[in-house]
């Protein structure tokens, strides 16, 4: 087999997408494992800092894990060629915004303008997600 044949095979779109998807999956899995280890470490360290500090750390890290898991789902679906990856990214964005809202409320560092901005973002993203989901259901029923 010639080198040019090997290069042609490796540069096919499906092959490139497959390998890049696998690399991104590994990076996200490492990030998820790191957050889990950090959460356990933070839990042990913050025991002596008080209950509220511990809860804030746990909630923030738990929501970060949810965001990373939804991004991971998006990447896996993208690699399989399914079309739900946009919905997973929208879900991850909503989860991240909710995480920020909760952290700001617990820390007491929020302003009403920030909360209204976050609320507007959540509404717009949720509406977009609804329209995408509704369109898919509508198209399936018409077939």
Give residue-wise pLDDT tens across range 14-49. 777 788 889 999 999 999 999 999 988 888 887 777
b/e map of 103-132 (b: 16 or more CB within 10 Å)?
A: beebeeeeeeeeeeebeeeeeebeeebeee
Nearest CA to 105 out of 69, 42, 48, 63 is that of 63
For 27, the token pair is 């990076």
For residue 46 the two structure tokens come to: 């913050």
Q: pLDDT per residue over 61-71, tens digit each?
A: 888 888 888 88
pLDDT tens for 91-117 read 888 888 888 888 888 778 888 898 899
Q: How confident is the model at residue 122 (pLDDT cuts 50, 70, 90)?
A: very high
Report angle CA 46, 52, 56 to the nearest 5 degrees: 75
| Reported pTM | 0.66
The pair phi, psi for residue 110, each rounded to 5°, is -95, 155
Alpha helix stretches (DSSP H) within the chain: 3-10, 13-46, 51-80, 85-107, 112-142
Structure tokens at 110: 């929020």
CA distance 108 to 122: 21
Task: Say which DSSP state 82 is in.
Answer: -
Q: Is the dihedral of CA 78, 83, 86, 89 positive or negative?
A: negative
Specify which of 6-15, 90-99, 119-128, 129-138 reaches the highest per-range mean pLDDT: 119-128
């Amino acid at each position: 087999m010639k080198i040019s044949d090997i290069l042609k095979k490796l540069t096919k779109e499906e092959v490139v997408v497959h390998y890049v998807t696998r690399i991104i999956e590994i990076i996200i899995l490492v990030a998820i494992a790191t957050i889990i280890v950090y959460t356990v470490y933070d839990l042990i360290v913050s025991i002596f800092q008080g209950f509220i500090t511990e809860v804030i750390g746990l909630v923030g890290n738990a929501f970060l894990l949810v965001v990373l898991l939804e991004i991971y789902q998006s990447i896996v679906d993208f690699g399989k060629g399914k079309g739900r990856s946009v919905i997973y990214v929208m879900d991850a964005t909503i989860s991240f915004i909710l995480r920020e809202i909760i952290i700001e409320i617990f820390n007491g560092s929020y302003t009403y303008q920030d909360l209204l901005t976050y609320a507007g973002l959540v509404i717009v993203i949720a509406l977009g997600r609804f329209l995408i989901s509704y369109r898919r259901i509508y198209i399936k029923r018409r077939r």
